[in-house]
Structure 1
Amino acid sequence: MAETERETIRESTLEGLDTAARKGKYGGRPPVITDDMLHTVLRRKVLGESVEQIQPDLIIPTGKRKGEHPSVASIYRALAEHEKARAYPEATEAAHDDFAALQQRDRSSV
């Protein structure tokens, strides 16, 4: 009986997450490194600066840590995600297409 209840709760949770995703809402914290910050980091790295030199000049624009500097680890993580997106552009493009199709389907069903 406990397994059945657990499975019911799991299915309800997944349905709720799916519904929220179709509305464009995702759980978790917003990213600390914005696109503008990432662009600044990439530009300055090309000029030969290290992440440690760039980090004190960056300021988090929103959220719980607004006004503080992002950690060096956050910057490296954002750089790694950027490189992954560049390494597999077809996967990124397919994900964007899938998301657009989901949004279009939701708009037409409402």
Structure 2
Amino acid sequence: MNGLEAARKRGRVGGRPPVVDDDKRAAILARRERGESIRTIATGVKVSIGVVHKTLTDAKTKDT
């Protein structure tokens, strides 16, 4: 068993914690629904443009 497997068995998960929580996700989706640009949303929610793109793409994938 390697280190990552042992950590998972103990309930530990590696990697960086997600930047977008449920509140930020809802804000991003609502602002995009109102027609705001991705750049404006990113500035308002204080996340990167890439995070906004990923959140919108993930939401679109889940809806389909």
- Specify the alignment match of 1:16 in structure 2: 6
* Correspondence 1:50 to 2:50: no
Give every structure 1 segment of 4 or more consecutive aligned residues whose post-TM-superposition deviation is greater than 4 Å.
Answer: none
Tell whether the 8 Å contact from 1:55 to 1:72 is kept in structure 2 after alignment.
yes
* Correspondence 1:76 to 2:63: no
Report the structure, 1 or 2, having the larger helix content: 1
- Cα displacement (A) at 1:74: 1.2
Q: Percent identical across equivalent pairs?
A: 28
- Cα displacement (A) at 1:13: 2.7
RMSD: 1.8
- Cα displacement (A) at 1:72: 0.2
SS in 2 for 1:53: helix
- Cα displacement (A) at 1:28: 0.6
- Specify the alignment match of 2:27 in structure 1: 40
Unaligned 5+ runs, structure 2: none
How many residues align structurally?
A: 64
The one-letter amino acid paired with 1:72 is: I
Tell whether the 8 Å contact from 1:33 to 1:75 is kept in structure 2 after alignment.
no
Larger Cα-atom Rg? 1
Unaligned 5+ runs, structure 1: 1-10, 59-68, 88-110
CA deviation vs aligned residue, 1:26-69 (integer Å, no higher than 9, x gap) = 111111111111101111111111111111111xxxxxxxxxx2
CA deviation vs aligned residue, 1:8-30 (integer Å, no higher than 9, x gap) = xxx3335314303xx2x311111
